[in-house]
Chain A
Amino acid sequence: MIDLLSQLAAWLTSSGQWAGPEGIAQRLLEHVQYSFLSTIVAALIALPIGLFIGHTGRGAFFAINISGFGRALPTVGVVTLVFLASGLSMTPVYVSLIALAIPVIVTNTYAGMIAIEADTKDAARGMGMTGLQSLWRVEIPLAAPLIMTGLRLAAVQVISTATIAAYVSFGGLGRYIFDGLAQRDLTQVLGGAVLVAGLAVTVDLILAGVNRVLFRHRLT
Chain B
Amino acid sequence: MNRRNFAAGALALAVLPMLAACSGGATTLDTPASAPGSAAAGDSAIVIGTANFSENQILGYLYADVLKGAGLTVTVKPNLGSREIVVPALQNGDIDLLPEYQGSLLLYLDPKATESDSDALQKALTAKLPQGLAVLPPSAAEDADVFTVTKESAAKYGLSTLADLAKHNGKLVFGGPAEDKTRQIGLVGLKEVYGAEFKAFKSLDASGPLVKGALKSGDVDVANLFSTDADIVKNGWVMLTDPKHLIPAQRIVPLIRTGKATETVKTALAKLNTALTTEELSKLDALVDVEHQDPDTVAAEWSKAHGLSG
Contact = CB atoms under 8 A, between A and B. Distances in A.
Interface stretch (A63-71, A178-186, A202-210): A178-186
B163 interface: no
Given A166-B203, A182-B178, A84 B209 contact: yes
B179 A183 contact: yes
Contacts of B177: 182
Interface in A161-220: 166-169, 175, 178-179, 181-184, 186
Contacts of A169: 175, 202-204
Nearest to A178: B178
Interface residues of B, number: 21
Given A166-B203, A182-B177, A184-B8, A88 B182 contact: no
A84 B213 contact: yes
Contacts of B8: 181-182, 184
Interface in B138-193: 175, 177-179, 181-183
Contacts of B175: 169
A88 B203 CA distance: 11
B11 A88 contact: no
Contacts of B179: 182-183
B217 interface: yes
Contacts, number: 48
A83 interface: yes
Residue from B178, B209, B220 having most chain A Cβ neighbours under 10 A: B178
B178 A88 contact: no
Contacts of B209: 80, 83-84
Contacts of A141: none
Contacts of A179: 178, 181, 203
Given A84-B209, A88-B202, A183 B178 contact: yes
B181 A88 contact: no
B286 interface: no
B203 A178 contact: yes
Contacts of A175: 203
A83 B203 contact: no
B214 interface: yes
Contact of B182 (A84, A87, A178, A183): A183
B11 A181 contact: yes
B153 to A, nearest CB: 15
Nearest to B183: A183
Nearest to A184: B11
A80 B181 CA distance: 22
A166 B177 CA distance: 11
B210 interface: yes
Contacts of A166: 178, 203
A183 B182 CA distance: 7
Nearest to B212: A84
Interface of A: 80, 83-84, 87-88, 166-169, 175, 178-179, 181-184, 186
6 contacts: A87-B214, A167-B205, A168-B204, A175-B203, A182-B203, A183-B182
Interface of B: 8, 10-11, 175, 177-179, 181-183, 202-205, 209-210, 213-214, 217, 219-220
